[in-house]
């Protein structure tokens, strides 16, 4: 098996190169491309809950997605082993000697055999379970005056995600956010209206 070079010549794959599926012509090129992965989840949803005890309230939202595939571009860049860029620890498992069984190909400057080209090596299961939002609030008791009540809130978003996906986020790049706020509610004042005729 070989790959076609830019000048039209062929270079044979050797030990440590990725083993690609071939259409039978023993040349790995665009004729061997096929549809890989499906970005659509089998099902997805969320669970929302609110618990109240006395003046305390906690709200939580968990979201999930089952099935669906994602292309891990960051992993492709960080495991390509074709230049000076930093790489992940996974490249320590790279192929080094004949007979070695590994899931990481050999390191080759410039990647002449295309070992890091787009392939199912970079497609991963994007299923996840995420604690999307948790909000804790306390209603401060106040004496009946002009103040009706005071609410103190603390909210966290995208707190934790459970997934086999090796990238940053199987859904999209959503940062963790923490918010604290205080709401002060006043009694509404009744005003009389006058009409002049």
Residue 75 in domain: no
Residue 25 in domain: no
Domain that holds residue 190: 43-70+126-197
Residue 175 in domain: yes
Report residue 47 as tokens.
């669970």
Q: What is the pLDDT of residues 119-161, one digit of tens each?
A: 999 999 999 999 999 999 998 887 777 777 788 889 998 889 9
Measured distance CA(106)–CA(141) in Å, rounded: 67
Q: What is the pLDDT of residues 152-191, one digit of tens each?
A: 889 998 889 999 988 878 876 555 666 676 766 666 655 4
Measured distance CA(179)–CA(156) in Å, rounded: 6
Structurally, how many domains does the chain consist of?
1
Report residue 18 as tokens.
């990725």
Residue 65 CA, chain-centre distance (Å), reads 11
Residue 17 in domain: no
Residue 79 in domain: no
What band does 193 get if pLDDT is binned at 50, 70 and 90?
A: very low
Q: Is the pTM of this model over 0.75?
A: no
Residue 137 in domain: yes
Measured distance CA(77)–CA(80) in Å, rounded: 6
Q: Three-state DSSP class for 132?
A: strand
Residue 93 in domain: no
């Amino acid at each position: 098996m070989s790959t076609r070079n830019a000048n039209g010549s062929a270079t044979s794959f050797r030990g440590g190169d990725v083993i690609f599926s071939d259409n039978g012509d023993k040349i790995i090129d665009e004729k061997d491309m096929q549809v890989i992965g499906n970005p659509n989840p089998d099902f997805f949803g969320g669970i929302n809950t609110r618990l109240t005890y006395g003046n305390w309230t906690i709200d939580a939202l968990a979201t999930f997605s089952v099935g669906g595939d994602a292309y891990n571009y960051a992993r492709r860049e960080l495991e390509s082993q074709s230049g000076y860029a930093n790489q992940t620890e996974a490249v320590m498992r790279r192929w080094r000697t004949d007979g070695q069984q590994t899931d990481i190909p050999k390191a080759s400057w410039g990647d002449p055999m295309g070992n890091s080209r787009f392939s199912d090596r970079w497609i991963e299961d994007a299923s996840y379970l995420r604690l999307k939002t948790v909000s804790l609030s306390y209603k401060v008791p106040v004496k009946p005056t002009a103040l009706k009540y005071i609410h103190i809130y603390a909210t966290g978003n995208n707190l934790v995600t459970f997934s086999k996906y090796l990238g940053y986020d199987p859904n999209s790049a959503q940062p963790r956010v923490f918010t604290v706020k205080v709401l002060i509610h006043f009694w509404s004042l009744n005003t009389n209206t006058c009409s002049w005729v």
